[in-house]
């Protein structure tokens, strides 16, 4: 039976494809206050602004490609059972070939009814005011905003509980509830933490790879193959 490797990814893995990390140093996201574009209150106050903000993110996604880290993770499926749990809303893991991906914070290429969270559609074009679901409600980005529940967190917890190896890439693991997933993995399994500036201490259980995602995942692949050969 193939070993089950659970991979938790954050903004760092997509940054090398040209997608900006969630917050700039000044606390803004693409020049916008997070509270204006990533909260239910911001959407209620100025839906046109919020819709256009995500339209711009969706357009940007057309111009970027999966990087080598995404591709190397997908290639690991040949030898391992790989589950990817990502905080990213892009589709770069899927485009690289990964087949088991959970998006904790939603998906940029989907929209949903503003009144019925289960009414979800695939969406690749701009979303404009007045575009409505079958029930007549305004469509909104299928994104988990600040202050909203994370519907996939229970599923992610269950997946982490079955891990033989845990890998963390490009995320500080400081934002909850995603940060709590580490505690649902079985005790004493190997953990690999890939980040160029890791804010974590290595241990007998935890291997820190202080490199970018593309460099770190390449090293990870070598380590995994050595340990299974």
CB 100 within 8 A of CB 83: yes
Output the CA torsion sign for 60, 62, 46, 89: negative
Give 148's Cβ-side CA count (13 Å radius). 20
Strands 165-169 and 120-122: unpaired
- Catalytic residue flag (residue 32): no
Catalytic residue among 105, 137, 142, 183: 105
Residue entry with tokens 């005011």? 129
Sheet of 139-143: strand order equals: 120-122, 106-113, 139-143
Q: Beta strand pairing status for 28-29 and 32-33?
A: antiparallel
Which residues are annotated as catalytic?
Answer: 105
């Amino acid at each position: 039976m193939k070993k089950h490797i659970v991979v938790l990814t954050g903004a760092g893995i997509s940054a090398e494809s040209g997608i900006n990390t969630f917050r700039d140093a000044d606390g803004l996201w693409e020049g916008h206050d997070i509270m204006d574009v990533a909260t239910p209150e911001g959407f209620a106050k100025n839906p046109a602004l919020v819709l256009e903000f995500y339209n711009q993110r969706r357009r940007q996604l057309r111009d970027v490609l999966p990087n080598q880290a995404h591709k190397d993770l997908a290639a690991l499926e040949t030898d391992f059972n790989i589950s990817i749990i990502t905080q990213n809303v892009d589709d770069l893991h899927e485009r690289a070939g990964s087949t088991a991906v959970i998006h904790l914070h939603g998906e940029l290429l989907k929209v949903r009814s503003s009144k019925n969270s289960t009414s979800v559609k695939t969406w690749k074009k701009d979303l404009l005011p007045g575009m409505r679901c079958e029930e007549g409600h305004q469509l909104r980005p299928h994104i988990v905003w600040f202050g909203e529940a994370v519907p996939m967190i229970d599923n992610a917890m269950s997946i982490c509980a079955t891990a033989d190896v845990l890998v963390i890439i490009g995320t500080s693991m400081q934002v909850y509830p995603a940060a709590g997933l580490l505690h649902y993995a079985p005790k004493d399994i190997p953990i690999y933490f890939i980040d160029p500036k890791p804010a974590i201490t290595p241990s007998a259980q935890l291997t820190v790879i202080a490199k970018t995602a593309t460099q770190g995942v390449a090293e990870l692949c070598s380590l995994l193959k050595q340990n299974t050969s």
